[in-house]
Amino acid sequence: MADQGGRGGAAAVLCLGVVSLAAGLGSAGPARAAWPPSEGRGACKVEKTSNVPATMRDGVVLRADVYRPATDQKVPVILMRTQYGKDAAQVQPSRFQTPDWYASHCYIVVVQDIRGQGASNGIFYEYAHDRDDGYDTVEWAARLPGSNGRVGMYGSSYVGATQWLASTAAPPSLKAIVPSNTASDYYQGWTYEDGAFRLAFIEPWMDETIARTAAINRQDGASEAALTEATHQMARWMGFTPYDRVPVFGPDDPARAPYFFDALKHPTDDAYWRAFSIERRWDKVAVPVLAFDGWYDAFLDGALRNFNGVQAHGATAEARTDQRIVIGPWEHIGWGRPDSVVSPRLHDLGEVADSPVNELTLMWFDHFLKGEDNGVATGPRVDYFVMGESRWHRAAAWPVPGTVSETWRLASDGHAASVMGDGRLEGPGTPAPGAVAAGQASDAYVYDPANPVPSLGGHSCCSWTSGPQGQFDQSGLEQRADILVYSSAVLTQPLEVVGPITVVLYARSTAPDTDFTAKLVDVFPDGRAINLANGIQRASYRQSLTQPTPIVPGQVYRYEIHVWPTANLFKAGHRLRLEISSSDYPQFDPNPNTGATLATTTRTVKATQTILHDASHPSALILPVLPADRAGEAEDHPPRR
Instruction: Report CA-CA distances (Å) from 297 to 218, 238, 306, 536, 602.
Output: 31, 20, 15, 16, 30
- Rounded to an integer, the average pLDDT of 155-184 is 98
pLDDT of 438 higher than 80: no
Output DSSP code: residue 585.
B
Longest dimension (CA), the chain: 84
* Long-range pairs, 95-101, Cβ under 8 A, ≥24: 95/35, 95/156, 95/333, 95/335, 95/357, 96/36, 96/154, 96/155, 96/156, 96/357, 96/358, 97/36, 97/40, 97/358, 98/36, 99/65, 99/67, 100/46, 100/48, 100/67, 101/36, 101/40, 101/41, 101/358
Same domain, 381 and 409: no
In this prediction, residue 49 carries a pLDDT of 98
Same domain, 497 and 593: yes
Identify the bridge partners of residue 152 per DSSP, sorted by sequence position.
78, 176
Rounded Cα distance, 342 and 19, in Å: 12
Is residue 205 assigned to a domain?
no
CB 215 within 8 A of CB 223: yes
Query: Where does the pLDDT of residue 3 fall: very low under 50, low under 70, confident under 90, or very high at 90 and above?
Result: very low
User: What's the mean pLDDT when you consider all of the chain?
Assistant: 93
Rounded Cα distance, 207 and 192, in Å: 17
Same domain, 572 and 430: yes
How many domains does the chain contain in total? 2
Is residue 228 assigned to a domain?
no
Pairing mode, strands 381-386 and 192-193: unpaired
Is residue 12 assigned to a domain?
no
- Rounded to an integer, the average pLDDT of 239-245 is 97
Same domain, 545 and 585: yes
In this prediction, residue 21 carries a pLDDT of 32
CB 32 within 8 A of CB 351: yes
In this prediction, residue 405 carries a pLDDT of 97
Query: Where does the pLDDT of residue 2 fall: very low under 50, low under 70, confident under 90, or very high at 90 and above?
Result: very low
pLDDT tens string 587-634: 999 999 999 999 999 999 999 999 999 999 999 999 999 998 888 889
Same domain, 412 and 347: no
Residues recorded for the chain: 641
In this prediction, residue 28 carries a pLDDT of 40
CB 605 within 8 A of CB 513: no
Same domain, 412 and 374: no
- Rounded to an integer, the average pLDDT of 427-431 is 79
In this prediction, residue 440 carries a pLDDT of 57
Spell out the residues 6+ positions from residue 252 whose beta carbon is closer than 8 angstroms to its own.
none
Q: Which of 293, 361, 306 is nearest to 333 (CA)?
A: 293
Is residue 236 assigned to a domain?
no
Query: Where does the pLDDT of residue 27 fall: very low under 50, low under 70, confident under 90, or very high at 90 and above?
Result: very low
CB 182 within 8 A of CB 303: yes
Rounded Cα distance, 469 and 211, in Å: 22
Q: Which of 18, 197, 108, 324 is nearest to 591 (CA)?
A: 197
pLDDT of 11 higher than 60: no
Output DSSP code: residue 630.
G
Q: In 64-99, which positions are buried (b, 16+ CB within 10 angstroms) versus exposed (e)?
A: bbbbbbeeeeebbbbbbbbbbbbeebbeeebbbbbb
pLDDT of 433 higher than 80: no
Is residue 619 assigned to a domain?
yes
What is the radius of gyration, based on Cα positions, of the chain?
A: 24
Is residue 33 assigned to a domain?
no
In this prediction, residue 363 carries a pLDDT of 98
Same domain, 407 and 423: yes
pLDDT tens string 445-490: 999 999 999 999 999 999 888 889 999 999 999 999 999 999 999 9
Rounded Cα distance, 308 and 380, in Å: 9
Rounded Cα distance, 63 and 123, in Å: 14
Which of residues 379, 395, 411 is at a domain's end? 395
Sign of CA dihedral 196, 200, 206, 207: positive
Q: What is the CATH number of the domain that holds 369?
A: 3.40.50.1820
pLDDT tens string 481-522: 999 999 999 999 999 999 999 999 999 999 999 999 999 999
CB 127 within 8 A of CB 71: no
Cis peptide before 462 (omega within 30 of 0): yes
pLDDT tens string 406-425: 999 999 999 999 999 999 99
pLDDT of 6 higher than 60: no
Percent of the chain with pLDDT over 70: 93
Q: What is the CATH number of the domain that holds 410?
A: 2.60.120.260
Same domain, 435 and 385: no
pLDDT of 12 higher than 90: no
Is residue 2 assigned to a domain?
no
pLDDT of 548 higher than 90: yes
Identify the bridge partners of residue 470 per DSSP, sorted by sequence position.
458
Percent of the chain with pLDDT over 90: 89
In this prediction, residue 432 carries a pLDDT of 56
pLDDT of 274 higher than 60: yes
DSSP string of 234-255, one letter each residue? HHHHHTEESGGG-GGG-TT-TT
Q: Which residues are catalytic?
A: 157, 297, 332
pLDDT of 20 higher than 80: no
Same domain, 455 and 418: yes
- Rounded to an integer, the average pLDDT of 331-356 is 92
In this prediction, residue 7 carries a pLDDT of 35
Same domain, 471 and 357: no
pLDDT tens string 50-103: 999 999 999 999 999 999 999 999 999 999 999 999 999 999 999 999 999 999
Same domain, 539 and 440: yes
Is residue 544 assigned to a domain?
yes
In this prediction, residue 4 carries a pLDDT of 39
Q: Which of 177, 173, 8 is nearest to 81 (CA)?
A: 177
Which of residues 360, 395, 430 is at a domain's end? 395
Same domain, 588 and 503: yes
In this prediction, residue 635 carries a pLDDT of 96
Which of residues 395, 427, 461 is at a domain's end? 395
In this prediction, residue 466 carries a pLDDT of 82
* Domain range for 304: 46-185+278-395
CB 106 within 8 A of CB 97: no
Q: Which amino acid is at 397?
A: A
CB 524 within 8 A of CB 485: no
pLDDT of 360 higher than 60: yes
